[in-house]
Amino acid sequence: MSGPTPAQILEAAGVPFSSFPHAPIRTYEDIERELALPAERLLKTLAFRAEDRFVLVSMPMLLPAGYGKIAKAAGVSRSKLRRAGEDDLAVLGMAPGGISPLTEVADRTVVFHPSVPEMGKVYCGSGRDDVTIEVDAAALVELVKPVITDVAN
């Protein structure tokens, strides 16, 4: 694992949050089965590689991602954007199913969908597939300072 965990980043910044363990999750079906959480409060984070940096995109779980819009937000052509593989996630210190917008990896762009700041309490990845973080979306946005733009299809 490289750098502090998402929970450690939140703790160091003094952002209130809670986390809870559960069975490993990777898909939305896993989330529905394992977590009794409201879908409108679930924040998915997708990880991409764009040339020599990471692009992390956080958006409401039920919105479809627009890869062209993500590439534009990251300032790269669509052909230069690829989903991060497990080796890439290892560099971030994250597991599939636990991707978080919270990382201190230097070469990264973090993008949030415009609806995120107003979502209230959200549930997001902890870096692990068996722990979920609950945090206020506005506090998360203030800490991460992402690019905010529409990345949904």
Structural domain span for residue 136: 6-148
pLDDT over 50 (residue 131) = yes
Question: Does residue 97 sit within a domain?
Answer: yes
3-state helix, strand, coil in the chain (%, to 5): 30, 30, 40
What integer best gives the mean pLDDT of the chain? Answer: 94
What would the mean pLDDT of 46-53 be, rounded to a whole number?
92
24 part of a folded domain: yes
Q: Classify residue 28: in a domain, yes or no.
A: yes
Residue type, 14: G
Query: Is residue 153 in a domain?
Result: no
| pLDDT band at residue 111 under the 50/70/90 scheme | very high
Q: Tell me what the mean pLDDT of segment 141-149 comes to.
A: 96
Q: What is the CATH number of the domain that holds 97?
A: 3.90.960.10
Q: Indicate the burial class of 136 (C-beta count within 10 angstroms; 0-12, 13-18, 19 or more).
A: middle
Least confident residue range of 4-8, 104-108, 116-120, 122-126: 104-108
**What is the tally of structural domains in the chain?**
1
Are 47 and 22 a contacting pair, CB within 8 Å? no
- The reported pLDDT for the residue numbered 2 is 63
Question: How many other β-carbons are positioned within 10 Å of the β-carbon of residue 76?
Answer: 18
51 domain residue, yes or no: yes
Return the pLDDT at 26: 86
Are 53 and 88 in contact, with CB atoms under 8 Å apart? no
